[in-house]
A and B are shown apart, each in its own frame.
Chain A
Amino acid sequence: MSEIQGASPPERPRTARNRTSSGADSGRQGVALTLTAKDFKSDQEVRWCPGCGDYAILAAVQSFMPELGIPRERIVFVSGIGCSSRFPYYMNTYGLHSIHGRAPAIATGLSVSRPDLQVWVVTGDGDALSIGGNHLIHALRRNVNLKILLFNNRIYGLTKGQYSPTSELGKVTKSTPAGSADSPFNPISLALGAEASFVARTIDSDRKHLQGVLRSAANHQGSAFVEIYQNCNIFNDGAFDLLKEPDTRDAALIRLEHGSPITFGTDGEFCVVHPPGGFGLEVRETASVSPTEIVVHDETVTEPAYAFALSRLPALDLSHTPVGVFRKVSRPSYDALVRTQVQEAAAKVTDPEREFASLLSSGDTWTII
């Protein structure tokens, strides 16, 4: 073991007060970072089922990590329980595989007390939206500085195939042989309802798009919520085929790009408009509307109603599913607000022991001689 370190973990920046709370700052002083995807692979054998969409996400994350320029020791992956939550074991960073649904809560304590770290949460539809629903919405509400990756396969995999809170109504599974009777959550709508400051969706099989979303999430200050459609080839195979197959995806998938009119289809033959008098957004044939009627995507709209309307576009069969960044707005992170209070108070104390002694003897005291 080492010498006594006293107060601080090694390498903790002394000037944390002046840092933004966007997570780990880039680079360790004086050390050029030339990390590769390989550096982020742990020595553990990956034990997902062959063909699982999780492999693609893992590979995408590992090859994306080097571009963050953050040393591995400043990155922490925290997960709950489920197939997706095995993720931290395979990342050669710090990692904590915790308990079902609680990852956002545990990660909140870590992130608030260690602003020098970049904390990622990996979770699934059961973990985040069922048993851990409360922690997810409160992390988003607080705008804790976490990057939350929700692998949505619309099924419970690790417990062998029960329906999940994102399974479609009527889903026939081991636990619902006559079909499920409860309506699913729309994770994007839920996150927006909690006023998440960053909300995005992507798909496991589209590495370029996935990494683009991760890049945007990593640079966001506050909670970044990313739903990743992920195929469970054992218990819910093909759940997102409509969005993946070359012959259907173009007409089904709406790729959101900030600043661009929202059109989709093989040749942009469909578009999204805001019909006068209506509350939401609707899909039209591009040829049938004036170009000025087509909604130009703006992820920075403060009012969450716009992004919410986008989140309501998909039909039951997932056609008209937007992917990309729905919302990216700036508001103070919980971490920053809490740390500012503590640091401003602590900055006035030079000798904590003496200050504590004077605290003890403040108020009504008396002396016995």
Chain B
Amino acid sequence: MTKKVQQLDRVVIRFAGDSGDGMQLTGDRFTSETAQLGNDISTLPNFPAEIRAPAGTLPGVSSFQVHFADFDILTPGDAPNVLVAMNPAALKANLADLPGGADIIVNTDEFTKRNLVKVGYDANPLEDGSLDRWVVHPVGLTSMTVGALADHDISKKDAERAKNMFALGLLSWMYSRPYASTITFLERKFAARPELVAANIAAFKAGWNFGETTEDFGVRYEVKPAKMSPGNYRNITGNVALALGLVAAGVRAKLPVFLGAYPITPASDILHELSKHKRFNVTTMQAEDEIAAIGAALGAAYGGALGVTTTSGPGIALKGETISLAIALELPLLIVDVQRAGPSTGMPTKTEQADLNMALFGRHGEAPAAVIAPCSPSDCFYAAIEAARIALTYRTPVLLLSDGYIANGSEPWLLPDVSDLPDLRVEFAATPNGEDGTFLPYLRDPHTLARPWAVPGTPGLEHRIGGLEKADRTGDISYDPANHDFMVRTRAARIEAIEVPDIEVDDPDGAASVLVLGWGSTYGPIGAACRALRQRGLPVAQAHLRHLNPMPKNLESVLKRYGRVVIPEMNLGQLAHVIRGRYLVDAIPYNQVRGLPFTAAELESMLEDVVKNV
């Protein structure tokens, strides 16, 4: 049977199922196939904090959304065009996000009375007409998978578990995906159990063939490759990009990297990734707690390594005192905060950007540190290198604010030429710098205001430093009032002296009177909303802050160039507060803290109101 092939420019698919159904893996594989084809991609995993919530319940639903297009896209998509629902819970949990007319592929085998009751369905939604707004494709995913694997020598349980590969096969057929990489993946994943390699490949092909033969799927779709800059690409999540950025920083600084970390969602993947790269002189230590993790990193930095600690908000709260010490010691240190919804334990797997105040101000005393934030998954790579540049050049702790959205989300990444990355080599102090051959640990470079990095082992530079206030130049303990005032102001001036690039404004026609200012992971949704408005003839300018402390020198003039400044944030207005206080700009905050990224549509609608009412 020859099927009609329809061209699309973009598609959003959401795979949803029980935590144990393998939806993250299915989504990952579909993404990889899509990347091979050359579409632009953006992904959004969404999963519960519980590893296995009770099966079939709403809290146990795990999903993975992938947006792919034949053009440059900025977000994982607001609303799915296709929902794959592996059980009633997955259907119920995701239906509200689905626009009318969207396709729903359901695993009918799971729509048993018991499972329906479990999620509060009185009647079977597949039969009561409640899904009439959508195009429903009922598929017996489990039974057909088990049927397809009847000849395989595996348990019924293993056969049932392969149903995600059947679903993947079906979707791969629907969207004409090349699947060689999935076959290779399965061969590798189940290398120790060849019978599972065969079963999963068979399930995948059964799903593919089902699409081709069943009349329920009359149309097959194609999304042509996107026009992207030439070069080699890979798909990358923010956490992996960040880890690779840290390795790159070590390689380019020619310094050993020392990571001290304590397991915490959603930052642990950075620890996992870095622990694989020992060959680049990377040492990872899983410490006894968050405090020890940063303490060990600081100790390594004192000894001349690139010290790093990675965590999420609750961990930053515990590390505050050691960050203060690093500020007093004036040593380079990277502190990565993959933000999650708070306060307290909050929602560990859900995103938020509400740690900005803590990063900027969350320490006792006057304790300024540099703060930067990446704006997308692949940007985490470059942000890590930039954080290392600042830390090493200016001998200061640098906080890097990622978040759950970009940490777990992925996008294609044009691989850089390693030799084009910044040269981060450092200069250790080797000889006394004071009169009479003395060493002055707090004698500063007049340009950077950085003090010498004099690592133990250097003859003639033996010195003592600590958290007590230090006299200028000598570093001796000092309680002198004037000295303390001077040192406090100097530590502030040190951070202000950090050279950061000017902020760029995207205002294609120069006609906008409204500026949208964002920071961190909101870049994608804000950018998509601005594009949509411009396409409709509504001019709007976008600027995005990477450096949150110090801020770019031109920021004030940029802000004052526009009649209105809007600041969308996934918090209750933390950046807006800083901008208002620092620049006396009457910025309009727009805030949401639902544990999810902004949708482009909601920002577009909000900005439209502002633009029309300037």
The residues of A with any CB-CB pair to B shorter than 8 Å are: 1-12, 28, 42, 44, 71-74, 76, 78-79, 81, 88-89, 91-99, 102, 105-114, 116-117, 134-135, 138, 338-339, 341-342, 345-346, 348-349, 352-357, 359-361, 363-369
Contacts and interface: CB of A to CB of B under 8 A. Distances in A.
B231 A367 contact: yes
Contacts of B426: 4-5
A31 to B, nearest CB: 9
B37 to A, nearest CB: 8
Contacts of B301: 109
Contact of B303 (A28, A71, A79, A109): A109
B457 interface: yes
A112 B304 CA distance: 12
A106 B298 contact: yes
Interface in B299-322: 299-305, 307, 321-322
Nearest to B184: A364
B191 interface: no
B500 interface: no
18 contacts: A1-B427, A11-B458, A72-B462, A73-B460, A95-B465, A102-B291, A106-B298, A106-B299, A112-B296, A112-B300, A114-B303, A135-B295, A348-B279, A349-B279, A356-B247, A356-B251, A357-B418, A360-B244
B446 to A, nearest CB: 11
Given A96-B302, A361-B415, A2 B295 contact: no
Given A6-B425, A134-B289, A346 B278 contact: yes
Given A9-B457, A356-B248, A361-B232, A109 B277 contact: no
Contacts of B280: 346, 349, 352, 355-356
Contact of B429 (A1, A76, A339, A361): A1
Interface string B165-197: 000000000000000010000000000000000
Contacts of A360: 234, 244, 415-416, 418
B322 A99 contact: yes
B285 A108 contact: yes
Nearest to A348: B279
Interface of B: 32, 35-36, 38, 181, 225, 228-235, 244, 247-248, 251-252, 254-256, 258, 260, 277-283, 285, 287-289, 291-293, 295-305, 307, 321-322, 324-325, 329, 415-419, 425-431, 433, 445, 452, 455-468, 476-477
A28 B459 CA distance: 10
Contact of A113 (B279, B305, B431): B305
Given A74-B456, A112-B300, A364-B35, 8 more contacts: A1-B445, A9-B456, A72-B462, A93-B462, A96-B302, A108-B285, A352-B280, A355-B280
Nearest to A81: B467
Q: What does DSSP make chain A's interface, helix, strand, loop or mixed?
A: mixed
Given A94-B462, A114-B303, A341-B278, A365 B415 contact: yes
Contacts of B418: 353-354, 356-357, 360
A106 B302 contact: yes
Given A74-B456, A93-B462, A109 B297 contact: yes
A193 B11 CA distance: 60
Nearest to B293: A105
B459 A1 contact: no
Nearest to B252: A353
Contact of A110 (B228, B230, B456): B456
B453 to A, nearest CB: 9
Which 5 pairs, one residue from A and one from B, show the smallest C-beta to C-beta distance?
A97-B466, A109-B299, A109-B296, A105-B295, A2-B430
A116 B292 contact: no
Contacts of A79: 466
Given A346-B280, A360-B415, A361-B232, A366 B35 contact: yes
Contacts of A356: 247-248, 251, 280, 418
Contacts of B425: 4, 6
B285 A98 contact: no
B427 A2 contact: yes
A114 B429 contact: no
B230 A368 contact: yes
Contacts of A11: 457-459
A112 B281 CA distance: 12
B325 to A, nearest CB: 5
Contacts of B324: 99
Contacts of A107: 299
Given A102-B295, A346-B281, A353-B251, A2 B429 contact: yes
A97 to B, nearest CB: 3
Given A7-B254, A360-B244, A364-B32, A113 B467 contact: no
A74 B457 contact: yes
Contacts of B300: 109-110, 112-113
B279 A88 contact: no
Contacts of A134: 288-289, 292
A359 B305 contact: no
A72 B457 CA distance: 8
Contacts of A364: 32, 35-36, 181, 234-235
Given A73-B456, A109-B307, A368 B228 contact: yes
Given A1-B433, A361-B232, A71 B459 contact: yes
A353 B225 CA distance: 31
A349 B278 CA distance: 10
A104 to B, nearest CB: 8
A9 B248 contact: no
Contacts of A81: 467
Interface centre among A9, A73, A93, A348 (most CB of B within 10 A): A9
B427 A4 contact: yes
- Tell me which of B225, B279, B281, B300 has the highest count of chain A C-beta atoms within 10 A of its own C-beta: B279
Contact of B256 (A72, A89, A113): A113
A349 B455 CA distance: 26
Contact of B430 (A5, A91, A114, A368): A5
Contacts of A102: 291-292, 295, 321-322
A63 B370 CA distance: 44
A3 B429 CA distance: 9
Contacts of A359: 244, 247, 277
Contact of A44 (B305, B433, B476): B476
Given A1-B445, A105-B291, A114-B457, A368 B231 contact: yes
Nearest to B466: A97
A9 B299 contact: no
A98 B303 CA distance: 14
A175 to B, nearest CB: 22
B456 A117 contact: yes
A369 B227 CA distance: 10
A93 B464 CA distance: 8
B377 to A, nearest CB: 15
Interface centre among B258, B415, B418, B468 (most CB of A within 10 A): B418
A110 B302 contact: yes
Given A109-B307, A346-B281, A356-B251, A9 B428 contact: yes
Given A12-B457, A73-B458, A108 B292 contact: yes
A345 B459 contact: no
A366 B279 contact: no
Nearest to B461: A73
